[in-house]
Amino acid sequence: MKNTRFKPQDAAELYGVPYWSSGYFRVNDEGKLEVDLPGGLSIVLEEVIEELVARGKSMPIILRFPQVLAERVKSLSEAFRKAIKEYDYQGKYQGVFPIKVNQRRVVVETIAKAGYSYHTGLEAGSKAELALCLAQNIHPEALLCCNGFKDDGFVSLALWGRKLGKNVVITLEKMSELDRVLRLSKELNVKPAVGVRFKLNAKGSGQWEESGGDNAKFGLNAAELLHVVERLREEDMLDALSMIHCHIGSQITDIRRIKVAVREATNVYANLVKAGVPVKYLNVGGGLGVDYDGSKTTFYASMNYTMAEYAADVVYTIQEVCQRMEVQEPIIVSESGRALTAHHSVLVIPVLDVTGPTVDQPFIPDRKEDQHQIVTDLEQLSENITVRNAREVYNDAVADKETMNNLFNLGYLSLHDRARGEALFNGIIRKIAKAVQDMKYVPDELEDLPRVLADKYVCNFSLFQSLPDNWAIDTLFPIIPIHRLDERPTREATLVDITCDSDGKIDKFIDLRDVKRTLPLHVPDGKPYYLGIFLAGAYQDVLGSGHNLFGKVNEAHVVADKEEGYRIELFVRGQKARRMIENMGYEEDDLRDSIEAQIETARKKGHFTQSEAKELGTTYTEELLGYTYLE
């Protein structure tokens, strides 16, 4: 007899771990998910969660792995170094991390530290971000790029940064910013370094394709760029123009689009150099993708190139144009945020409950003698279901269920009959799904059965706080149980969060060939069951909303150690209820005063004893200071 035992490697294939993990995650021989780090170090996720729970920490929790961040910085810088050496490129590479992708302290400080020797810089798109960036310890030659729209305060702070000895470059996003930079630099008596974001004709690919091209939000066109050059020449400040910056969008899926954009940007650079402008940096912007589904295609959740291929194509394309135009090869700059941060964190969420048509009903009404004929019809349909009649039975059952609902609404069907009819219908579609599961060709009507039959796994998290891109723009994130991966999952499920919103659900999942509508999961066994959501380290931390006043979740910073296995370097508690309430304009003292006044009024009316009044006050205070998620 053929051995059908489910093995950990089967789980790895089922959930696509080798394809999307970039080598940072794997299923071990015990059927548990672990993070793999350089030097043969690894951390079993379930062990970390169990330790945190033993310490009294509540779910959900983000596990952050600073070593993964550091490795991503190294990998990108080394990819460019290798390409530069291979092509004998005469310039060098300096990465820049746009902190809008993730401003969390551990992220920014880890990248700054890991990138110091590589001259990795930072990018700020607001005054607050610039204030944060100026305080970081980065290499003196590392760039601090100031992008986005600017007022006097933004520009002044950037110019003060140059006096501090920082390599600050102010990127002009619109024409009027030039006058502001020139005026304030004279007032502060500091020479600025200016960049110009050039509005490329080229566009990216994927969800952010429209952010590039002629209708892009930011950037100057060719005529405006030439006007900047002439204005700086008139001011005898032409050497202040040090950078040409371009950007064609985030998560670019097709490497060909990148090469077209880089070629266009390099031609702009080369023309300026030939005109006597001493441009030093060519900033190719962001867009380096993340392969969320592992398919290595141009699908919006994937990318058809590797980090090494990206670096090689950028270097080769710039060199080709510069050699043809006979100009010096520039320092290459890229602002790759998503690719650096996506892999470093895992959101771990516990399953609280399971509902759905495949879950055993606790109560099925008995058959009554005066049962309505429509219920009897459903009984008869359920008695003999085969592969041959599955399609016919399904169509009849759907029609009978619709009739049953209409009869109930008109008052011709009892609640008892409706309950029994619904149970019979659910049983029929379960039998049909089982009958057709091995068919080579599944009729169109039955293709959607897995989704119809999917259980709803209720999970302790808020989609709007932790995965806003999934809700807003259908970004796909790998989701997989972090344990029990040596057991065959027998349920098909969708996920729902604990918000009071019907949109708080995940019903699209990664797949190498398509988008799956359900996720294979295990039957709950009475023990904690944890799911991990991966590649969510970019943007999700900073875009989350406080729907239902669910706040930022607890997070643990975990470091692998040869002697200890791992250690939890830092635990950052998630937002308390009072913090979320205060964000809406309320004051904690006012809330307490109101509750205390109501308690006292109720006590005087005899609704409370003195001890009950005290207990309610204590409970209210504890909840204000408590975690916003279920504990």
Q: Which residues are catalytic?
A: 500
Helices (H), 382-414: 390-409
For residue 288, say whether it is annotated as part of any ligand binding site: yes
CA distance 567 to 471: 34
For residue 161, say whether it is annotated as part of any ligand binding site: no
Residue 165, judged by CB atoms within 10 A of its CB (0-12, 13-18, 19+), counts as: exposed
456 with 358: CB under 8 angstroms?
no
For residue 337, say whether it is annotated as part of any ligand binding site: no
For residue 585, say whether it is annotated as part of any ligand binding site: no
Residue 444 structure tokens: 């169109």
CA distance 535 to 20: 9
Q: Helix 127-134 to helix 152-163 angle, to the nearest 10 degrees?
A: 10
For residue 282, say whether it is annotated as part of any ligand binding site: yes
CA angle 96, 316, 296 (to 5 degrees): 75
For residue 572, say whether it is annotated as part of any ligand binding site: no
For residue 289, say whether it is annotated as part of any ligand binding site: yes
For residue 213, say whether it is annotated as part of any ligand binding site: no
505 with 519: CB under 8 angstroms?
no
CA distance 171 to 405: 63
The set of residues, in sequence order, having a beta carbon less than 8 Å from that of 563 and lying 6+ positions away, is: none
What are the two backbone dihedrals, phi and then psi, of residue 184, each rounded to the nearest 5 degrees?
-75, -30
Residue 517 structure tokens: 């509508």
Residue 324 structure tokens: 């043809």
CA distance 476 to 175: 38
Strands 33-37 and 41-44, how do they pair? antiparallel
For residue 526, say whether it is annotated as part of any ligand binding site: no
What are the two backbone dihedrals, phi and then psi, of residue 285, each rounded to the nearest 5 degrees?
75, -160
* Distances 202 to 174, 582, 611 between C-alpha atoms, Å: 19, 45, 71
Query: For the stretch 453-481, what's the b/e string if a residue is b when 16 or more beta carbons lie within 10 angstroms of its beta carbon?
Result: bbbbbbbbbbbbbbbbbbbeeebbbbbbb
CA distance 606 to 611: 12
The set of residues, in sequence order, having a beta carbon less than 8 Å from that of 194 and lying 6+ positions away, is: 169, 170, 171, 172, 178, 181, 228, 232, 240, 241, 242, 243
Of residues 105, 33, 144, the one with CA closest to residue 531: 33
DSSP 8-state code for residue 593: H
Q: How many Cβ atoms from other residues are within 10 Å of residue 383's Cβ?
A: 9
The 3-state DSSP composition of the chain as helix, strand, coil percent (nearest 5) reads 45, 15, 40
CA angle 171, 152, 192 (to 5 degrees): 45
Annotated binding site for substrate: 282-292
